[in-house]
Chain A
């Protein structure tokens, strides 16, 4: 599974870097680039993804994991992981006060297909959150299709 994930996630990571650079088109933002480069070059095995099976088991075993669902409210309303907080991707920077105060607390970011969640996981890492992962394959393929418990 990880091997299958590797190529698309690597592409995503590069897209994030390119996207970041694109956000400041006037000139190269060397500070942003240094942060992005450090993040990308130190990506761990699995690219900070967590399999749905592992997340489900951890939640069932009582681990206190903050699940941040960055999909649109309509997607969230159709089904989500119990206890998840819904903050649409573009609203995350303005909603940091809703995240755990402890920046070392485990956070798992969820979206439909692990694209939006990858951006948010990286952004939170830049903000100093040290234990952020995102749901590998996303909610649809990584959770819903597996038949894992969902609430509406």
Chain B
């Protein structure tokens, strides 16, 4: 449990350390007070509900092995993932795993992933036991797939590019003027060196250059080291989407890609390596 990212919130710390660079010692106390205060302990998932829904117990004093999805998971992940998964984004369908299978979060996210396996991973992407599409759908692998498009795109494109619908991202910052969520869909390059694909979906995160100004001066001299459009895994997977219907819903469709002109000028340098500069031509 001590290596669980739920407990350590190490993913946020990893990114913030990169942005803070030599200023990390100055920023760390403010980070602990703000971001890192959100960590979960055993009872937060197995006994009680989150403070965000005024707390209380899920089922009296019972210790639930797997709590109800909407209370055990949805209260902390209720801003983006849970509504996305259950089809609460107006105009967009629920995830096929929920729509067809009523699958609990824990059906894909194993106890090892959630509790940690003893290794202190830097972020969720690095976790060895994380949920993957191919873990349950090995036949979708490019090699030998009966689906022509899987073979054509090989390992260059993340599954979600074609098999997810629109998701929510955020603009502006939590600490400053207040973040505003917005529906997004942008294909870009992955900034993860360990990513097994080149292109994926990107979600805008609300980290603005001056978000710590009120607490710590010059807190993020390394701001440009981390993109603010980050790899995302939308939880609204569909077998069929506009992108599985036609090549030209991506090829030649400039607005589906994150382009340099789409960036806020203050974030241009941070996202230079994830934008797409050459749109694939129409087929």
Contact = CB atoms under 8 A, between A and B. Distances in A.
Contacts, number: 47
Interface stretch (A10-18, A49-57, A123-131): A49-57
B255 interface: yes
A60 B243 contact: no
Interface string B150-168: 0000000000000001100
B183 interface: yes
B253 interface: yes
Contacts of B253: 62
B256 A64 contact: no
Query: Which size class do A's interface residues fall under?
Result: 10 to 19
Contacts of A62: 241-243, 246, 249-250, 253, 256
Q: Which 3 A-B pairs give the minimum distances between C-beta atoms?
A: A62-B249, A57-B183, A61-B185
B255 A59 contact: yes
A51 B91 contact: yes
Given A53-B183, A63-B242, A58 B166 contact: yes
Contacts of B198: none
A149 B90 contact: no
Interface residues of B, number: 19
B186 interface: yes
Contacts of A59: 255
B184 interface: yes
A57 B169 CA distance: 11
Given A53-B182, A53-B183, A64-B249, A58 B91 contact: yes
B186 A60 contact: yes
Contacts of A56: 183
A115 B184 CA distance: 28
Given A61-B166, A62-B256, A64-B249, A54 B183 contact: yes
A108 B253 CA distance: 19
Nearest to B183: A57
Interface in B68-113: 90-92
Interface of A: 50-51, 53-54, 56-64, 82, 149
Interface string B243-283: 10010011001011000000000000000000000000000
A149 B262 CA distance: 10
A82 B242 contact: no
A38 to B, nearest CB: 24
A57 B185 contact: yes
A84 to B, nearest CB: 13
A21 B185 CA distance: 44
B256 A54 contact: no
Given A59-B255, A61-B166, A54 B91 contact: yes
A31 B156 CA distance: 57
Nearest to B201: A61
A56 B255 CA distance: 10
Contacts of B92: 54, 57
A58 B166 CA distance: 7
Contacts of A61: 165-166, 185, 241-243, 256
Contact of B166 (A51, A57, A64, A82): A57
A60 B91 contact: no
Given A57-B185, A61-B243, 15 more contacts: A50-B91, A51-B90, A53-B182, A54-B90, A54-B91, A57-B184, A58-B91, A60-B184, A60-B186, A60-B255, A62-B241, A62-B246, A62-B253, A63-B242, A149-B255
